[in-house]
């Protein structure tokens, strides 16, 4: 059985690296828009036999219940790595053979992108990874089995995951996908995102309503 894992932290503290551009309230509402786009993509997935949401954030818990997904409720959140590793051990105990961890800040992601990863045919132990657009972060990771090695997130995580996989004797498969590589952590990411077609996304609607393009233009004036 292959499954999805969505880790969702408290979005009231989201996107701290955008603090120079957005207020705390704006950062939270932008993160909520990206979460909405993620949930829409996940609802269209065909190849996941189970979908797990690891969180203690009440709006995410409500969304999981509405969609019939399984909630792994945390007592507290130490870090994304700790959340994912705890959830991965539970999924392994529940006979999940392959677990695909997806972040919630990939506003261009489509259901077909997720299914493409889940469809990769390889025997365990193995890992399928999609890097960030700079090649240093890990934007999606499918581990077979789920707790094959510990998680690392943030700058340099891709190299760390690859090293962990090699130590575990796992086959490493790297896939490139422009939509999955477009995460949003800082101002440069936001500027890059605005070069894409965001029609039909909650994120695009939020950026338009909050005149983010105009803010960038004003900031560049002498």
Structural domain boundaries in the chain: 2-212
The whole-chain average pLDDT of the chain stands at 93
Query: What's the predicted TM-score (pTM) here?
Result: 0.94
| Residue tagged 């498969």 (tokens) | 173
With a cut of 90, say whether residue 153 has pLDDT above it.
Answer: no
What would the mean pLDDT of 126-146 be, rounded to a whole number? 95
Distance CA 207, CA 108 (A): 14
CA distances, 161 to each of 1, 19, 198, 213 (Å): 22, 29, 30, 35
What would the mean pLDDT of 95-113 be, rounded to a whole number? 96
Q: What is the pLDDT of residue 88?
A: 97
- 167 token code pair: 């130590």
Q: What is the pLDDT of residue 184?
A: 93
Band of residue 154 on the pLDDT scale cut at 50, 70, 90: confident
Sign of CA dihedral 151, 156, 159, 163: negative
Residue-wise pLDDT for 41-100, tens only, equals 999 999 999 999 999 999 999 999 999 999 999 988 888 899 999 999 999 999 999 999
| Residue tagged 């132990």 (tokens) | 125
With a cut of 50, say whether residue 221 has pLDDT above it.
Answer: no
**Domain at 2-212: CATH architecture:** Alpha-Beta Complex (3.90)
Closest by Cα among 34, 192, 196, 2 to 114: 2
With a cut of 60, say whether residue 13 has pLDDT above it.
Answer: yes
What would the mean pLDDT of 169-192 be, rounded to a whole number? 94
Band of residue 219 on the pLDDT scale cut at 50, 70, 90: low
The percentage of the chain sitting over the pLDDT mark of 90, rounded to a whole number, equals 85
């Amino acid at each position: 059985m292959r499954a999805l894992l969505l880790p969702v932290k408290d979005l009231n503290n989201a996107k701290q690296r955008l603090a120079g551009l957005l207020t705390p309230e704006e950062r939270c509402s932008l993160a909520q828009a990206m979460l909405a786009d993620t949930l829409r993509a996940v609802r269209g997935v065909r190849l996941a036999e189970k979908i797990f949401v690891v969180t203690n954030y009440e709006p995410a818990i409500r969304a999981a219940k509405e969609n019939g997904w399984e909630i792994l409720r945390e007592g507290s959140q130490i870090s994304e790595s700790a959340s994912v590793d705890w959830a991965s051990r539970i999924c392994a105990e529940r006979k999940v053979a392959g677990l695909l961890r997806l972040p919630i800040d990939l506003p261009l992601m489509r259901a077909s992108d997720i299914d493409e990863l889940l469809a990769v045919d390889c025997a365990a132990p193995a890992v399928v990874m999609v890097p960030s657009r700079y090649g240093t972060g890990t934007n999606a990771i499918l581990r077979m089995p789920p707790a094959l090695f510990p998680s690392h997130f943030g700058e340099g995580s891709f190299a760390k995951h690859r090293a962990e996989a090699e130590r575990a004797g796992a086959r490493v498969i790297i896939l490139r996908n422009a939509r999955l590589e477009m995460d949003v952590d800082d101002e440069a990411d936001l500027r890059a995102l605005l070069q894409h077609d965001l029609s039909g996304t909650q994120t695009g609607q939020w950026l338009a309503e909050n005149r983010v393009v105009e803010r960038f233009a004003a900031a560049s004036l002498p």
